[in-house]
Amino acid sequence: MYLMTTKDKILQSALRLFLLHGYEAVSIADIVKQAAVSKGALYNYFPSKENLFLQTMQQLFSEFGKSMQADFGQQAFDSFHAFYLAFADHYDQVLNDRQPNLSDQLILMTNAARAFPQLKQVVSEQEAVFVAFWRNNIQRATTSGELRTGLPATELSHVYLNLVRGVVIDLVIQEHNSRITKGLLKERFDTIYMLLKKEN
């Protein structure tokens, strides 16, 4: 059985409050009360509210990348078609796991990345993981003859990155249930696949 550490309790409580009220409206006193710890305990791990917020956001960003790494890091797919269908399933599950505060999390993460330059490196690292997975699978599919030759794998990977972002933004704006996401991603992926697939 996992026992939550004091640091984890503080991070979890801080995230809950930041999601509910935003960074500016939350005080150290609020976090201490929510986590049921002393101020001394909090400052033992986090020298300031800004530092606590940054660590909270870094954890939130890294969780997305870790879940992708766990599901796709060592897995080999029979085809690019199988890969993107598995990705749609994976992303659908990730988003569903984060309900019902998905919109709040995405908005908070976006605002944090804008306000704190330190987080740009974290965002870049997560994007690099995404692009690498897609690029490798595109290159394998090109070599196997599934996709047309001469495709710019890296550029196409960024197209897929922007496509996924667009679907998620639409999800947040329209307040759709995230179960729709897999259908939307699969539909978009299928369209691009038909353009990239090698004709027999």
pLDDT of residue 106: 76
In the chain, the percentage of residues whose pLDDT exceeds 70 is 85
| CATH number of the domain encompassing residue 122 | 1.10.357.10
pLDDT of residue 1: 43
**Nearest residue to 31 via CA among 16, 14, 44:** 14
For residues 136-150, average pLDDT: 94
Q: Please state which of the ranges 42-56, 120-134, 143-157 shows the lowest mean pLDDT.
A: 120-134
pTM reported for the whole predicted model: 0.79
What torsion do the CA atoms of 80, 86, 87, 92 make, to the nearest 10 degrees? 150
Please tell me whether residues 107 and 152 are part of one structural domain.
yes
Please tell me whether residues 96 and 157 are part of one structural domain.
yes
Domain extent for 36: 1-47
| CATH number of the domain encompassing residue 11 | 1.10.10.60
CB 106 within 8 A of CB 166: no
CB 156 within 8 A of CB 134: yes
pLDDT of residue 129: 85
More confident residue, 197 or 94: 197
Predicted confidence (pLDDT) at residue 24 exceeds the cutoff of 60: yes
CB 138 within 8 A of CB 193: no
CA 40, chain centre distance (Å): 33
pLDDT grade, residue 193 (50/70/90)?
A: very high
φ, ψ of residue 151 in degrees (nearest 5): -75, 135
* Stated length of the chain: 200
Amino acid at site 179: R
